[in-house]
Structure 1
Amino acid sequence: MEATTSRSPSKLRGARAGRRRGRIRWRRFPLVFGAAVTLGAGTVVTTTAAEIPVSFAVAGSPFTVTAERLEATGATQFASFRADGEGTRHPVAVVGIRSARISGLCQSAVTRSPFGAATLVIRSGAPAPVRAEHLALDLSRLTGNMTYKSVEMGRDAATLNGSGVTGPAGTYGQQARKLSIENMRLKAWSLTAGMFSLAGADMSVRRGERPCT
């Protein structure tokens, strides 16, 4: 004869609640693109755009991103300010992009310390382009050969509808249905994304100041 055991309904409910409390809600874990990126040779994807912090203190210096080509759908831009950890406010060009494909991407961040400088470098693998969705960048500088399609300049930043990123009412804004940039080089204080995927990527840390060029 087999022995059987039973639990009261209250004990069963308590056990289920304990299991729920012990679970990790992975969808709420944001992945920061930059110095805190953990990157292997596969693909890195951030959380959904709704789960990215709306505001955070930026590092004390901008990082560098270069690319052979960026092809974007739905791009918006307006001017604003971002504060670093010490409270210093930096003027930025806020750029929103609904979706993008980026070829030949290189991202670098220089860290300076009493022991010298070190540079974190992340490169995308070839030939697959980087895929990104719902991007928001705070730029201090951008250079390259840019082409806009269906562009609107002088639009109130609060009414921008191209990327999902809007600015304060009364602020100058502009947007385009399509944007392409060749030989892109930018300095950014921050970057957030609903999805950022790098296939076959490589990350390295080098002594000295060796930013992407």
Structure 2
Amino acid sequence: MKFPSLTKSHAGRVTLAAVPVGIVACVLLGGVAQGAVPVSFAVSGSQFQIGASQLDGTGFSQYAGIATDSEGGEHTVAIANIKDATLTDLCQSVISETPLGTVGVLIKAGGGDNPATATDLQIGMTGLKGDATFGNIRIGVDASTVQTEAKGSAGDFAQDSDTISITNLQQTAWSTQAAVFTLNGMSLELTDGSQGCF
């Protein structure tokens, strides 16, 4: 599967050298525990936080790109693809300004021995912290030749690896999409915006 419109590689915009990448989850408000999520959408005007005590994935690639919002604004991102992933103690938070004031949404899932899972993930992120380990990593490959179904533009810098593992993940992102995202033990809470994942 090649994701056409969420994020796109853009030659010459940005060069990223060996940036480890984790996973992001989106605010899923209906039928969220199991099932497919959209694979094509414009990003909102808000970034969001993702935290997890442990991420493990297979089939990873990363390259530079652009996420476009509904008003045509472009946001430079690192595009990451992971074929299969598990996330333990997943947390996602987003803050929005509404006519009634600041409102936050806090989602948690994947606690204990029942982590959240995802397949065919693609994310557009702007920041990451954590302790990362890559298996069979290739750094500096052409983005059009990465070993994932989703690929970047010819000539762009990229990296890929067979496996990825990140402990104490803290990530900020504009977008995420997946073929299937399963949030085991999910809880959703509206807040005043003072609570985040980190």
TM-score exceeds 0.5: yes
AA aligned to 1:52 is V
- Is 1:45 matched with 2:35? yes
2:117 is aligned, of 131, 134, 153, to 131
Task: State how far apart, in whole Å, the 2-side matches of 1:76 and 1:67 are.
Answer: 20
AA aligned to 1:117 is T
Question: In structure 2, what is the equivalent of residue 90 of structure 1?
Answer: 75
- Aligned residue for 1:68, secondary structure, equals strand
AA aligned to 1:34 is C
CA offsets 1:134-174 (integer angstroms, 9 cap, x no match): 0000001111000111000111101112x322001110110
- Aligned residue for 1:158, secondary structure, equals helix
Question: In structure 2, what is the equivalent of residue 67 of structure 1?
Answer: 52
- Aligned residue for 1:180, secondary structure, equals strand
Task: State how far apart, in whole Å, the 1-side matches of 2:130 and 2:68 are.
Answer: 26
Aligned residues between the structures:
173
Task: State how far apart, in whole Å, the 2-side matches of 1:175 and 1:196 are.
Answer: 22
Equivalent pair of 1:118/1:209 in contact (CA under 8 Å): no
| Structure 1 residues 122 and 191: alpha-carbon distance in aligned structure 2, compared to 1, 3 A threshold | same
AA aligned to 1:151 is I
- Aligned residue for 2:179, secondary structure, equals strand
Task: State how far apart, in whole Å, the 2-side matches of 1:190 and 1:202 are.
Answer: 21
- Aligned residue for 2:45, secondary structure, equals coil
CA offsets 1:88-118 (integer angstroms, 9 cap, x no match): 2110000000001110100111111243211
Task: State how far apart, in whole Å, the 2-side matches of 1:99 and 1:35 are.
Answer: 20
AA aligned to 1:45 is G
1:142 is aligned, of 128, 131, 149, to 128
- Is 1:112 matched with 2:112? no
Point out 4+ residue stretches in structure 1 off by more than 6 angstroms: none
Can you give the 5+ residue segments of structure 1 that lack an aligned partner in the other structure?
Answer: 1-32
Equivalent pair of 1:39/1:203 in contact (CA under 8 Å): no
Query: RMSD between aligned alpha carbons?
Result: 1.6
Q: If the length of structure 2 is used for normalisation, what is the TM-score?
A: 0.82
- Is 1:197 matched with 2:182? yes
What's the offset of the Cα at 1:208?
Answer: 2.9
AA aligned to 1:149 is G
Answer with 1 or 2: which has the greater Rg: 1
Question: In structure 1, what is the equivalent of residue 151 of structure 2?
Answer: 166
Which structure's residues are more often helix, by fraction?
1
- Aligned residue for 2:152, secondary structure, equals coil
| Percent identity of paired positions between Structure 1 and Structure 2 | 31
Question: In structure 1, what is the equivalent of residue 26 of structure 2?
Answer: 34
- Aligned residue for 1:141, secondary structure, equals strand
Give the stretch that moved more between structures: 124-133 or 142-151.
Answer: 124-133
Q: If the length of structure 1 is used for normalisation, what is the TM-score?
A: 0.76
Task: State how far apart, in whole Å, the 2-side matches of 1:38 and 1:153 are.
Answer: 39
Equivalent pair of 2:105/2:191 in contact (CA under 8 Å): yes
What's the offset of the Cα at 1:67?
Answer: 0.2
Can you give the 5+ residue segments of structure 2 that lack an aligned partner in the other structure?
Answer: 1-24
